Amino acid sequence: MRLTGNTLSKVSKMLDFYSQFNPTPMSIKQFIDFGLSACEQKSYTFLRKELPVRLANIMKEIHLLPENLLRMPSVGLVNDWYARSFDEILEFEKADCTSRDLDRFCKALIKIRNRHTDVVLTMAQGVLELKESHEVDSQTENSIQYFLDRFYMSRISIRMLINQHTLLFGGELTNDPHHRHIGCIDPQCDLVGVVKDAYENARFLCDQYYLSSPDLTITEHNELEHGAPIHIVYVPSHLYHMLFELFKNSMRAVVEHHNNNNNDNYPPIQVTVVRGKEDICVKMSDRGGGIPRSLTDQLFHYMYSTAPQPSKSDAHTVPLAGYGYGLPISRLYARYFHGELSLLSCDGYGTDAIVYMKALSNEANELLPIFNKTSSRFYRTTIPTGDWSNQTSCMSVRHLYTNNFSNKNNSNNRNTIRNQLSRSL
């Protein structure tokens, strides 16, 4: 169902309004503190203003994409999904806080979340449609890379807000055995347990495809409490997503690099879990032959993949295989709460992948893309711009977020309008 002309006009007007405001970054500690008090009215009051802001900021950037990409059917479908979801959230902009409204709002969030389930896959298909029908120059590729980093980071943040609300107030945790969870956050996330889960599921796929797989060895080092197991306040599904992708890549590399040995005695994948003062790290080391240094950066490009490109028929049976989205999106999950995912490879030997996470929950703040007048420059420049969306270090990410992503020229106006919105959480 397409939006009508009147609805599109209303959506366009409200997009201009809400895109004036910066999203409000939350820390894991804020998510936890709010979840413990679990006031549905406060969450409702916050989300009915915050979600339109986050949606409007990224929807404005969709309109800055190259015209050829915007004309692709899959991209048009994604654009329509976002416009429809934005319009549905606006229905609650001035609604009351009755139990009926709260129930309708929760159901609307679930509907929106379900609608956007295939956004990553559909947008990936749109990029493939562009590559198949047009010649993609370096300027267009840089624009797409810059946009997709911001687009998918925005999607992660929006789903985080929706999941927290629906899990806390929509009855979705009723039958959850992990009752200690606060929404989708585990205050005592067992890192080794998540590592083992990700390994076993990746191993199942590897055994299916190659009829064998490398073993796993795990080492823990707790610098603060020697000998104690390492736990973290974190979103287990985010960590699992990163580790599952890394395990798939490592297993494939190990098996294919050693396939001439005529035996199944592959060198194991070694995982080291370390807790330090500032960071908690999960390092995965394999002996899969490594990656040439000239290709390392390309592994984080959405338009590059070492796997065969999937056909439309098997796109849903092999998750993102061949799209090249596994590593770049995994890195976004790491960066979302100011962590990082880094690769260090020895060509001819193997690769180390390290996932960094903030040890302190009050330092694990959301990293959110912000739309402002300077955003359009990044879609028209042929020179890669220093930005957290590009391949920068974690230190650069923080610096550039602070200096490049805040619209300092409009800070006073933004603060004035922000106060008028009266957001509370």
Pair 161, 274 in one domain: no
Pair 194, 259 in one domain: yes
- Residue 73 maps to a domain: yes
- Buried/exposed 108-130: b ≥16 CB within 10 Å, e otherwise: bbbebeeebebbbbbbbbbbbbb
178 classed as catalytic: no
Q: How far apart are CA 112 and CA 401, in angstroms?
A: 28
Looking at 181, 207, 230, the residue that finishes a domain is 181
Concatenate the DSSP letters of all residues of 122-189 into one string: HHHHHHHHHHHHS---HHHHHHHHHHHHHHHHHHHHHHHHHHHHHHHHSSTTTT-S-TT-BTTBEEEE
Pair 195, 208 in one domain: yes
The three-state secondary structure class of 149 is helix
Question: What pLDDT is stored for residue 332 in this prediction?
Answer: 97
Question: What pLDDT is stored for residue 11 in this prediction?
Answer: 84
Report H helices in 262-342.
293-296, 326-336
- Residue 406 maps to a domain: no
- Residue 370 maps to a domain: no
Give the amino acid at 228.
A
Of the residues 22, 163, 249, 372, which is catalytic?
249
- Cα Rg for the chain, rounded, in angstroms? 22
Strand 216-222 and strand 269-275: pairing?
A: parallel
Looking at 315, 330, 363, the residue that finishes a domain is 363
Contact 212, 264 (CB under 8 A): yes
- Residue 30 maps to a domain: yes
Contact 129, 74 (CB under 8 A): yes
Query: Would you give the DSSP letter of residue 388?
Result: T
Find all residues with CB under 8 Å of 313, minimum gap 6, and list them.
Answer: none
Question: What pLDDT is stored for residue 220 in this prediction?
Answer: 97
- Residue 32 maps to a domain: yes
Question: What pLDDT is stored for residue 378 in this prediction?
Answer: 72
- Residue 265 maps to a domain: yes
Pair 134, 242 in one domain: no
Question: What pLDDT is stored for residue 296 in this prediction?
Answer: 84
Q: How far apart are CA 359 and CA 276, in angstroms?
A: 7
Query: Would you give the DSSP letter of residue 27?
Result: B
Pair 155, 232 in one domain: no
Task: With both helix axes pointing from N to C terminus, report the angle between 236-257 and 326-336 in degrees, rounded to the nearest 10.
Answer: 150
Of the residues 116, 181, 248, 258, which is catalytic?
248
Q: How many CB atoms lie within 10 A of CB 418?
A: 16
Question: What pLDDT is stored for residue 316 in this prediction?
Answer: 45
Question: What pLDDT is stored for residue 410 in this prediction?
Answer: 44
Of the residues 165, 241, 257, 338, which is catalytic?
241
Concatenate the DSSP letters of all residues of 314-334 into one string: GTTTTTTTTTT-HHHHHHHHH
Q: How far apart are CA 136 and CA 104, in angstroms?
A: 44
Handedness of CA 159, 161, 162, 164 (dihedral sign): positive
The three-state secondary structure class of 148 is helix
Q: How far apart are CA 9 and CA 308, in angstroms?
A: 42
Pair 195, 146 in one domain: no
249 classed as catalytic: yes
CATH code assigned at 313: 3.30.565.10
Q: Single out the residue of 89, 85, 83, 82 nearest to residue 104, CA to CA.
A: 89
- Residue 325 maps to a domain: yes
Of the residues 245, 258, 366, 390, which is catalytic?
245
Q: Single out the residue of 163, 214, 193, 159 nearest to residue 35, CA to CA.
A: 163
What angle (nearest 5°) sits at the alpha carbon of residue 283, between those of residues 274 and 333?
Answer: 100
Question: What pLDDT is stored for residue 88 in this prediction?
Answer: 96
The three-state secondary structure class of 69 is helix
Looking at 181, 213, 240, the residue that finishes a domain is 181
Q: How far apart are CA 267 and CA 41, in angstroms?
A: 54
Question: What pLDDT is stored for residue 311 in this prediction?
Answer: 53
241 classed as catalytic: yes
Pair 98, 140 in one domain: yes
The three-state secondary structure class of 340 is strand
Domain of residue 201: give its range: 186-363
- Residue 44 maps to a domain: yes
Pair 216, 358 in one domain: yes
Question: What pLDDT is stored for residue 177 in this prediction?
Answer: 52
Pair 197, 173 in one domain: no
CATH code assigned at 47: 1.20.140.20
Pair 114, 259 in one domain: no
Pair 124, 23 in one domain: yes
Question: What pLDDT is stored for residue 90 in this prediction?
Answer: 95
E-assigned strand segments in 114-209: 186-190
Residue whose tokens read 């190659």: 210
The three-state secondary structure class of 262 is coil
Pair 170, 254 in one domain: no
Domain count, the chain: 2
Per-residue pLDDT tens, the chain, 425 aa: give them: 455 556 677 788 999 999 999 999 999 999 999 999 889 999 999 999 999 999 999 999 999 998 999 999 999 999 999 999 999 999 999 899 999 999 999 999 999 999 999 999 999 999 999 999 999 888 888 889 999 999 999 999 999 999 999 999 987 654 555 478 999 999 999 999 999 999 999 999 999 999 999 999 999 999 999 989 999 999 999 999 999 999 999 999 999 999 876 667 899 999 999 999 999 999 999 999 999 998 888 889 987 655 555 555 444 444 434 457 899 999 999 999 999 999 999 999 999 999 999 999 999 999 999 887 666 677 766 544 445 555 443 443 344 333 334 443 444 444 443 443 333 34
Q: How far apart are CA 324 and CA 302, in angstroms?
A: 5
* Residues listed for the chain: 425
Q: How far apart are CA 400 and CA 96, in angstroms?
A: 40
